[in-house]
Structure 1
């Protein structure tokens, strides 16, 4: 389960790259009740999604040439420079090297060997998200990958994750920070199936947001311009989930967990 007691390798930040921050903010306000707060005139349009008084995500304009709208997951590191070196040694690509974000912390962005983008956050003044797991917040992370074996080797090398293969759909692996135990599981790695690969599906990390009622949220998402990728479905002993792209193409999922 995700918590805000961040440890190395655990998700600690999440942001949306989008061509229209205002329109994206309006969509997620309708879906989750989030309010958008600008980070200030020097932040280039970047700002924070708040649920009540807690920061639960962030968003900013797309800045990389050719970038598509997407959610980016950040994983906790105590040394962004050392993680960058580990990524390179494990066969990943550095999209942007470590840099300071004012006094908040230090970040870097990467692509794993199978093509999935992710980032790391080395905290200073800002530890990370202020709430997770509750309704309207991040509760799970999932990598859909073209090569699960290569992905598992890569992330194990970079973050020392504990990985456990389970019988939950074809080729599913549970992810836990090193030494965290089963209660600290924060995500899964799933092998894309031949039909997905034939259709051109690429490797991507997807955030899951907890919701009170998956079906109601799915209907609301469609009403406000989202496209359904997975219609609401039950996952035994897990909950009821659905997956979408938002009006600008960023993929995310929602789940009403069996046990919250």
Structure 2
């Protein structure tokens, strides 16, 4: 829980991002050196920690259990009212529930993959006071996939997007991309494109987490010095900022973006 107490997330909206790392201490050292995060214990147990920036919760990092055969990756979690019902919806649509739902601290969580293989998580229960695009939370969550419209139909059916029911997420299709809003601001973007033949894992179907930074050159240099790898800095899609993709020493991919 955050210093301000638990919060009830908007149903179907992203409610957290978390990295499952091979070595929790090493991961904390890397992200502290690169993004300036500090860490405190999480309510989920000693194998989890909460990253803090300016006293606000940003993300979670946990130690990857040896019996979970999943890759080190940043995972976006979405809020649901019933984890079992959500798992059933995913399976009914030909997608995969890889782990869970399992009890974790004050809630229940699961890991899944959509029909194109993009991994995501879902969470039943209260969360920290946190929202994409607000404060020090991730600036953006972006799904890059083959067909954004088809992906939007899948996630809408699973998470109840655009259901018309109070307290859910709204969806619009703008400029060949799907925009998801929680009623006040954009919380996710789904973009399509020809990724099916790309050998580079950075452009295979996946949810990308974008963290805001003040000085992107300083951050990318720190990442290289700490043992990570970095793509060249490029302009953001709207041309108003700069971005770069970083791979941490464990293989976890994330994007940093500066306005």
State the TM-score, normalized to the length of structure 2: 0.81
1:1-260 to 2 correspondence within 5 Å?
6-39=9-42, 43=45, 45-63=47-65, 64-102=67-105, 104-124=106-126, 127-130=127-130, 133=133, 136-161=136-161, 162-167=170-175, 171-177=176-182, 180=183, 183-193=184-194, 197-199=197-199, 201=201, 202-229=204-231, 231-236=233-238, 238-257=240-259
* Unaligned ranges ≥5, structure 1: none
| CA–CA distance in structure 1, aligned partners of residues 144 and 101 of structure 2 | 26
* Unaligned ranges ≥5, structure 2: 1-6, 162-169
| CA–CA distance in structure 2, aligned partners of residues 5 and 238 of structure 1 | 33
> Structure 1 residue 92: deviation in Å?
1.7
Q: Work out whether residues 57 and 129 of structure 1, in 8 Å CA contact, stay in contact via their aligned partners in 2.
A: no
Q: Work out whether residues 8 and 76 of structure 1, in 8 Å CA contact, stay in contact via their aligned partners in 2.
A: yes
| Residue correspondences, number | 242
Cα shift readout 1:233-257 (whole Å, capped 9, x = no counterpart)? 2433653222221121111111223
Check 1:247–1:238 CA distance in 2 against 1; reply closer, same or farther (3 A cut): same
Check 1:190–1:86 CA distance in 2 against 1; reply closer, same or farther (3 A cut): same
Q: CA RMSD in A?
A: 2.6
Q: Secondary structure at the match of 1:153?
A: helix
Q: Work out whether residues 135 and 209 of structure 1, in 8 Å CA contact, stay in contact via their aligned partners in 2.
A: no
